[in-house]
Amino acid sequence: MTERLPLPPEWGMLYALPMPDVPKKEHHAIAHGLLQEKLPEYAAACDIAVGSTSLRFGKNGKPSFAEHPEIQFNLSHCEGLAVCLFSPHECGADCESIRKYKRRTAERVCSAQELEALEHADDPDFLFTRLWTLKEAYVKAIGIGISFPMREASFAFDGDGILSSREDASFSQFLYREHIVSVCVLGKMPEQRVITII
């Protein structure tokens, strides 16, 4: 059963579809099915008449609707979950189940401050997954992908806020069942969110 997660309205709409026991080879198709299923709902909310749609891809593979450049979207899927984000802004989403913190991996993608936080974290696996998904959401929003030097997108958490080195973007994050879902929209939004438990 698809759920709409509580993203601030000006950010867009975020949908989550649990996929328990679904083989990995089917994840991509299910995520694209979610995109097609929820597009009419988002378009209606924005008073956009949507007919046929076809995808086009940027030079780094970021998809968009050829007929509706005013509708931005992003998909993510992992073991057990697919998410679909619609927005009037360039955007990115990433979902992951809690992944094992490995120092060697962290050194490739984390800033010095993030590495320090990981070394002193009560639950470094949880913190690393939070950081990883925020970085992934950002590079997907800017359309560059993992060629972007991820250490340059640095994050920290301060009570009810996500602190970021990237002044060109806003971030929101959810703990959805056993997954972390992170969202990035380019531009400064009036509301920043820290992790919301669903």
pLDDT at 59 over 80: no
pLDDT reported for residue 62: 85
Domain with 95 in it: what CATH number? 3.90.470.20
pLDDT at 95 over 60: yes
Average pLDDT value for residue range 71-77: 96
pLDDT reported for residue 27: 96
Tally of domains within the chain? 1
pLDDT at 195 over 80: no
Average pLDDT value for residue range 53-72: 86
The residue that leads in pLDDT, 143 or 94, is 94
pLDDT band at 189 (very low <50, low <70, confident <90, very high): confident
Q: Are 27 and 96 in contact (CB under 8 A)?
A: no
Cα separation, 36 vs 16, whole angstroms:
14
pLDDT band at 198 (very low <50, low <70, confident <90, very high): low
Domain residues for the domain of 150 are 3-197
Mean pLDDT, the chain, whole residue set? 91
pLDDT reported for residue 54: 83
